[in-house]
Amino acid sequence: MGYKTLCFGLTCILFAYFIYVPIPENIDEPWKVRIVDAVIKTTSLTAMLFENIGLMGYEKLFSTLVKLDYTQPISDENVTVMDTTFTDIPVRLYLPKRKSERQRPAVIFIHGGAFVLGSCSKCILWQAPLDLLNRLTANKLDAVVVGVDYRLAPQYQFPTPYEDVISVVKFFLEDKTLAEYGVDPTRICISGDSSGGTLAAGVVQQIQNDPEFKNKFKAQALIYPGLQLVDISMPSHQEYEHGPVLSRNMAIELGCLYLTNDKALSQAIRKNQHMPHGSGHLFKLVNWSTFLPEKYRKQHVYTEPVLGRLNTSFSILLDNRLSPLATNDSQLQNLPLTYVVTCQHDILRDDGLIYVSRLRNAGVKVSHDHIEDGVHGALSFMTLPVYLQLGIRIKDKYINWLEENL
Ligand SMILES: *[C@@H]1O[C@H](CO)[C@@H](O)[C@H](O)[C@H]1NC(C)=O
Ligand SMILES: *[C@@H]1O[C@H](CO)[C@@H](O)[C@H](O)[C@H]1NC(C)=O
Ligand SMILES: *[C@@H]1O[C@H](CO)[C@@H](O)[C@H](O)[C@H]1NC(C)=O
Ligand SMILES: *[C@@H]1O[C@H](CO)[C@@H](O)[C@H](O)[C@H]1NC(C)=O
């Protein structure tokens, strides 16, 4: 009892402190963003404390708070929603009801959550935001939408989440599956937000470059994606180290659980000294000093990273399924039409901006929306209890782009 009271008291003090942390001036609905930010920061610090005293893993408090309840698929007058599995991986399907003479386009949506949290079908309180997004997409585009519930870290670490997505995609792209759902093989997009964008970008690279696949993607849509773990000291990592919403520390702690339980990795990443010897060739592919537009480079000075400081060498750090940005031009040039959303006040901003530059240099057609007052994760705040206009704006931009381009 005394212990619980102490925890509660501590949480209140942290919250009261964090609620006064300044946020960038141009942000819309600042008090809502402050509350979200303070809740996340309080959770992160408490989680760190619990981990240090050996009570539970860092991610456990987040997954307890974001206690996901399975929500039954609910069909409406326009869309039939159903849960099934593709190659044993749970998927939620959104199938338009209206009669169609033609084959339909399709969107495969990969949710975010740092590979550790999130779901396309489960929700926190009322309605899962991504369930809403996928339903709206299906209705507006008259498209078949597939939400993928891949397995999550730390129970299932790299490459399991990636392989789950690949296996769903391979199954869906087979002629017989496309025929079953009446999908036009030339109008398929894969989309993802945040770490879902990491997975989507990696999967697209693999599928488009693999001659075994007859059916390819027409488009990819990446919403504030994380695209690399090679250099964690870009201007956006520095400027938004403390958030809002996603701090560098939290991204590193959660992101590392995707790879390992060994804390040495997150410690090395914090100092940006995690890459092994022999990975030097990757740095030119993610070099912000070359690829970031002048406007975002500002007064930042590029420093060459220190290699080989980690005693255990994680060779997976060289894997482009983890860092789709660290892929050479000959692989990028086969990529389909691409849509990227970046948010100004986001540590992952520069990953997206650099990918836009690299794809354009490689001759890929890219549409890019930069949200000047954007913060990370806004699409997750589109339904009660936290309803941000910013989330609605990003949703509208995304669906409009699909409508015009798919
Ligand atoms: C069904 O579609 C119509 C036309 O797009 C729309 O006006 C209506 O709100 C939709 N119903 C639901 C439940 O979304
Ligand atoms: C990164 O770019 C800067 C400026 O273009 C250059 O001086 C530096 O050598 C580059 N470093 C790597 C590792 O590519
Ligand atoms: C690596 O190993 C050496 C020798 O065992 C040790 O002195 C050093 O502290 C270790 N470095 C790290 C970062 O663990
Ligand atoms: C590009 O990457 C692919 C796959 O990693 C590799 O096979 C190829 O040799 C690379 N090409 C260049 C020009 O580095």
Each residue's pLDDT tens digit, 199-236: 999 999 999 999 999 999 999 999 999 999 999 999 99
Q: Which residues, other chains included, contact 102 with Cβ-Cβ below 8 Å and sequence gap of 6+?
A: 184
pLDDT of residue 126 exceeding 60, the answer is no
> What is the rounded distance in angstroms from the CA atom of residue 247 to the CA atom of residue 240?
7
According to the model, what pLDDT value does residue 55 have?
Answer: 84
Closest-CA residue to 379 (of 324, 339, 341): 341
User: Is residue 82 very low, low, confident or very high in pLDDT (cuts 50, 70, 90)?
Assistant: very high
For the chain, percent of residues with pLDDT exceeding 90? 72
| Pocket test residue of 74, 77, 98 for ligand 1, highest count of atoms within 8 A of CB | 77
Q: How far is the CA of 263 from the centre of ligand 1 (A)?
A: 49
Ligand 1 neighbour 78 (Cβ under 6 A):
yes
Q: How far is the CA of 300 from the centre of ligand 2 (A)?
A: 13
Residues flanking ligand 2, CB < 6 Å: 283-284, 287, 289-290, 302, 304
> What is the rounded distance in angstroms from the CA atom of residue 135 to the CA atom of residue 146?
10
30-52 and 2-18 are packed helices; what angle lies between their axes, rounded to 10 degrees?
140
User: What is the residue with the minimal CA distance to atom 11 of ligand 3?
Assistant: 311
Q: Are strands 183-193 and 104-110 parallel, antiparallel or unpaired?
A: parallel
pLDDT of residue 384 exceeding 80, the answer is no
Which pairs from 386-390 meet CB under 8 Å and 24+ separation? 386/32, 386/35, 386/36, 387/32, 388/28, 388/29, 388/32, 388/33, 388/36, 389/28, 389/29, 390/28, 390/29
CB atoms within 10 A of CB 381: 23
User: Is residue 158 very low, low, confident or very high in pLDDT (cuts 50, 70, 90)?
Assistant: very high
> What is the rounded distance in angstroms from the CA atom of residue 403 to the CA atom of residue 310?
47
According to the model, what pLDDT value does residue 228 have?
Answer: 97
User: Is residue 305 very low, low, confident or very high in pLDDT (cuts 50, 70, 90)?
Assistant: confident
> What is the rounded distance in angstroms from the CA atom of residue 59 to the CA atom of residue 105?
37
Q: How many CA atoms lie within 13 A of 104 on its CB side?
A: 25
| Torsion, CA 45, CA 51, CA 55, CA 56, rounded to 10 | 100
Contact 235, 332 (CB under 8 A): no
Closest-CA residue to 339 (of 289, 386, 285, 398): 398
Domains of the chain: 78-227+319-405 (3.40.50.1820)
The label of the residue with tokens 């890019």 reads 368
User: What six digits make up the tokens of 207?
Assistant: 């599928």
Residues flanking ligand 3, CB < 6 Å: 264, 309, 311
Whole-prediction pTM value? 0.94
Q: Which helix (H) or strand (E) holds 386?
A: strand 386-387
User: Is residue 355 very low, low, confident or very high in pLDDT (cuts 50, 70, 90)?
Assistant: very high
Q: Which residues, other chains included, contact 319 with Cβ-Cβ below 8 Å and sequence gap of 6+?
A: 158, 159
Contact 251, 382 (CB under 8 A): no
Contact 332, 236 (CB under 8 A): no
Q: How far is the CA of 328 from the centre of ligand 4 (A)?
A: 6
Q: Which helix (H) or strand (E) holds 331?
A: helix 329-332
pLDDT of residue 166 exceeding 80, the answer is yes
What is the mean predicted confidence (pLDDT) over 304-309? 89
Ligand 1 neighbour 75 (Cβ under 6 A):
no
Q: How far is the CA of 324 from the centre of ligand 1 (A)?
A: 37
pLDDT of residue 248 exceeding 60, the answer is yes
| Per-residue model confidence as pLDDT tens digits over 233-247 | 999 999 999 989 899
Q: Which atom of ligand 1 is nearest to the CA of 76?
A: 13
Among the listed residues 194, 266, 279, 380, the single catalytic one is 194
Is residue 194 part of the annotated active site? The answer reads yes
Ligand 4 neighbour 206 (Cβ under 6 A):
no
Q: Which atom of ligand 1 is nearest to the CA of 140?
A: 5
User: Is residue 68 very low, low, confident or very high in pLDDT (cuts 50, 70, 90)?
Assistant: low
| Pocket test residue of 321, 331, 332, 334 for ligand 4, highest count of atoms within 8 A of CB | 331
Ligand 1 neighbour 98 (Cβ under 6 A):
no
User: What is the residue with the minimal CA distance to atom 12 of ligand 2?
Assistant: 284
